[in-house]
């Protein structure tokens, strides 16, 4: 019998399912100290936790521990690196709380639109201030959904009965999939300009941290509502604070830098603030508990590892090639346009990398979807592509071409009035450094795509490179390196400039017009 400890207020269905299975000895002890439990149960095989902190000291105290399951999506309270060093697999239950969060968004919209919270307090105080609580209806209004992952899509479904006009921003989702959802895809700027309600469903990472700043927030309608049930760091609090001085913007919030008692930094600007209740429903707790039990059984009996979030690199694969797969895909994404709608991802994996093609699709999807966790497996990655309506093809390769250990990534996207575009990039690793060897028909480039890169392709003629260099200099940007080869026919050229800073979108558009570029893009890869 494998001992399983559940030191949290998790629905009893997890204990019941594991006990009925017959292979587990389950102890549920909500609120118990983990170190004290370890002293009594050193033979524990698996831990199922919610928000308990699983530190390195806790891991050391459980010498037989092999599995930790977080009954929920986030796992920032678990030291996953320390767990990996000890050969402990950490898993989560993504999606178990999604419906609860989607319903919370609707609840916040309705509570605010009808002033339910202050009206309740007023009525309990013996007052009758009916005229003071004149509300508004959400039916027929425009809802903007930033991020059309699982929670975003469920939110769209939950508001369907209100006949709302739904706008969506998610650069990864295909137009066909958005049409199926009844969502009109727009730019982020257009969404903030047009929506009466804006709900956020994106992760907090380097790409999204501080995304909602003055530039974006100032585009909101007077009287519009911003709903944040995602992550606190995606919003610049001070920028919203300043905007609310001159604009009637409603702010409905459920997330904070830390989930703990004490003063909250947004208390003065939030019209409704909740103590991170998104996942706090009986049903979500049951879903997470049931999923945690199933994941453990499937892991033990079927070897299903889809939910491991501290995965090792496959034995025999250099970690640099995972970086290569990520970087090539990020480069291709930038070249087709970050706001274009992806249709197809095609890959060719050459040489000794071929056996790892399944694993390599994971960093590729991470480059396309900021809310995908790189530590999940290829089945989860393929599921994300399918959910977003993006086809995937891993092509058979001919190693007689002599490409060595290299990867080709082709991305096809719909670019609005510009039609459909496909960009193909190939790269390898040389001296442990990622190198791009080809972009479309331009071969033997061999440049490092990390940092700030400006890519411009054009019909070859004298003076174009000089014009590009002049405009870059006039913008106050320094050029660190340049590539300027022709294609195989000699009719086209490409200029690849490594810069000390990223040029603005306006600059890239002006440059493209000036040199009559076929393609112009600024890409920053960390």
Residues 118-149 pLDDT 10s? 999 999 999 999 999 999 999 999 999 999 98
Q: What is the structure's pLDDT at 417?
A: 67
Q: What is the structure's pLDDT at 418?
A: 67
- Percent with pLDDT over 90 in the chain: 74
Record the pTM. Answer: 0.78
Q: What is the structure's pLDDT at 331?
A: 95
Q: What is the structure's pLDDT at 215?
A: 93
Sequential DSSP letters for 102-161 = HHHHHHHHHHHHTTHHHHHHHHHTT---GGGG-----TT-EEEEE--SHHHHHHHHHTGG
Mean pLDDT, residues 54-69 taken together: 95
**Mean pLDDT value across the chain:** 92
Residues 144-201 pLDDT 10s? 999 998 899 999 999 999 999 999 999 888 888 899 999 999 999 999 999 999 999 9
Q: What is the structure's pLDDT at 165?
A: 97
CB count within 10 Å of CB 419 equals 7
Q: Where are the beta strands (DSSP E) in 303-432?
A: 341-349, 391-394, 406-414, 420-430
CA dist 267 and 251 (Å) reads 10
For 431, which DSSP code? T
Strand-strand pairing, 165-169 and 142-146: parallel
- In this structure, is the dihedral angle defined by the CA atoms of residues 68, 71, 72 and 78, taken in order, positive or negative? negative
Q: What is the structure's pLDDT at 347?
A: 96
Joined tokens for residue 123: 């009525």
CA dist 498 and 202 (Å) reads 30
Instruction: Give yes or no for residue 380 having a pLDDT over 90.
Output: no
Domains and CATH numbers, the chain: 2-96+283-302 (3.40.50.720), 98-273 (3.40.50.720), 319-525 (3.30.70.260)
CA dist 189 and 174 (Å) reads 19
Residues 481-493 pLDDT 10s? 999 998 888 899 9
Cβ partners under 8 Å of residue 496, min gap 6: 439, 445, 447, 453, 454, 455, 482, 483, 484
Cβ partners under 8 Å of residue 491, min gap 6: 459, 460
Band (398; pLDDT cuts 50, 70, 90) = confident
Band (420; pLDDT cuts 50, 70, 90) = confident
Band (379; pLDDT cuts 50, 70, 90) = confident
Q: What is the structure's pLDDT at 150?
A: 87
Band (234; pLDDT cuts 50, 70, 90) = very high
Q: What is the structure's pLDDT at 307?
A: 85
């Amino acid at each position: 019998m494998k001992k399983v400890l559940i030191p949290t207020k998790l629905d009893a269905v997890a204990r019941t399912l594991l006990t009925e299975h017959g292979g587990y000895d389950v102890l549920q002890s909500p609120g118990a100290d983990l170190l004290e439990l370890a002293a009594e149960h050193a033979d524990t095989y698996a831990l199922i936790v919610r928000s308990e902190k699983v530190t390195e000291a806790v891991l050391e105290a459980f010498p037989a521990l092999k599995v930790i399951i977080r009954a929920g999506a986030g796992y920032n309270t678990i030291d996953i690196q320390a767990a990996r060093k000890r050969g402990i697999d950490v898993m989560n239950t993504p999606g178990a709380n999604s419906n609860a969060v989607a319903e919370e968004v609707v609840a916040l919209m309705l509570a605010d639109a009808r002033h339910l919270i202050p009206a309740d307090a007023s009525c309990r105080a013996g007052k009758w201030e009916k005229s003071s609580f004149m509300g508004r209806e959400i039916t027929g209004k425009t809802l903007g959904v930033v991020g059309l992952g699982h929670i975003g899509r469920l939110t769209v479904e939950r508001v369907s009965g209100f006949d709302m006009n739904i706008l969506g921003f998610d650069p990864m989702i295909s137009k066909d999939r958005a049409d199926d959802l009844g969502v009109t895809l727009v730019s982020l700027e257009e969404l903030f300009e047009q929506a009466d309600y804006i709900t956020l469903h994106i992760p907090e990472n380097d790409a999204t941290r501080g995304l909602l700043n003055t530039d974006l927030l100032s585009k909101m309608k007077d009287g519009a509502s911003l709903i944040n049930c995602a992550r606190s760091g995606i919003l610049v609090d001070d920028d919203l604070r300043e905007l609310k001085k001159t604009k009637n913007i409603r702010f409905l919030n459920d997330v904070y830098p830390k989930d703990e008692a004490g003063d909250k930094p947004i208390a003065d600007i939030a019209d409704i603030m909740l103590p991170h209740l998104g996942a706090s429903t009986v049903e979500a707790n049951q879903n997470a508990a049931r999923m945690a039990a199933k994941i453990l059984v499937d892991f033990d009996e079927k070897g299903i590892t889809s939910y491991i979030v501290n995965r090792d690199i496959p034995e025999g694969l250099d970690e640099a090639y995972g970086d290569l797969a990520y970087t090539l895909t990020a480069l291709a994404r930038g070249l087709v346009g970050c706001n274009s709608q992806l249709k197809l991802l095609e890959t060719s994996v050459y040489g000794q990398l071929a056996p790892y093609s399944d694993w390599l699709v994971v960093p590729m999807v991470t480059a396309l979807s900021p809310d995908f966790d790189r530590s999940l497996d290829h089945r989860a990655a393929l599921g994300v592509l399918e959910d977003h309506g993006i086809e995937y093809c891993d092509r058979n390769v001919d190693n007689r071409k002599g490409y060595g250990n290299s990867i080709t990534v082709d991305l096809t996207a719909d670019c609005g009035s510009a039609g459909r575009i496909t960009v193909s990039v190939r790269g390898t690793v040389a001296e442990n450094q990622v190198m791009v060897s080809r972009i479309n028909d331009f071969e033997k480039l061999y440049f490092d795509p990390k940092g700030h890169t400006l890519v411009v392709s054009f019909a070859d003629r004298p003076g174009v490179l000089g014009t590009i260099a002049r405009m870059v200099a006039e913008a106050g940007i320094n050029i660190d390196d340049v590539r300027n080869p022709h294609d195989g026919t000699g009719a086209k050229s490409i200029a690849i400039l490594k810069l000390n800073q990223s040029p603005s979108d306006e600059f890239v558009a002006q440059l493209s017009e000036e040199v009559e570029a076929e393609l112009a893009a600024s890409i920053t890869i960390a």
